[in-house]
Homo-oligomer: A and B are copies of this chain.
């Protein structure tokens, strides 16, 4: 998917297929909080996501505290959410099982 900014309808359609993801208040971005069994599981997941982020050349904003990872996705170059964020969000969900 390309890096054109999604309009409101396109973003809503994409979010409908991404359980747990929601718009980030005050930003053109989407976010989700992932919870894992422990740090091992959380960082293992982050490592898989990091490899995919490099492959896509598209990187998350994320914060980790032990078993919890808060993620924000946006495409800085486009000034908002694009198809690249949706691709990465889907991969994150799939990798989280």
A interface with B by C-beta (< 8 Å):
39-40, 43, 46-47, 50, 53-54, 59-66
A39 near B53 with CB under 8 A, answer yes
Which of B43, B53, B63 is A61 in contact with, Cβ under 8 Å? B63
The interface residues of chain B lying within 8 Å CB-to-CB of A46 are 46
Query: Are A59 and B66 interface neighbours, CB within 8 A?
Result: yes
Taking a contact as CB atoms closer than 8 A, the residue among B39, B47, B62 that contacts A63 in the complex is B62
Q: For A62, list chain B residues within 8 Å (CB).
A: 63-64
Q: How far is the CA of A62 from the CA of B53 in the complex (A)?
A: 18
Instruction: Please name 7 pairs of A and B residues whose Cβ atoms are closer than 8 Å in the assembled complex, sorted by A.
Output: A39-B53, A43-B50, A47-B47, A59-B65, A61-B63, A62-B63, A63-B63
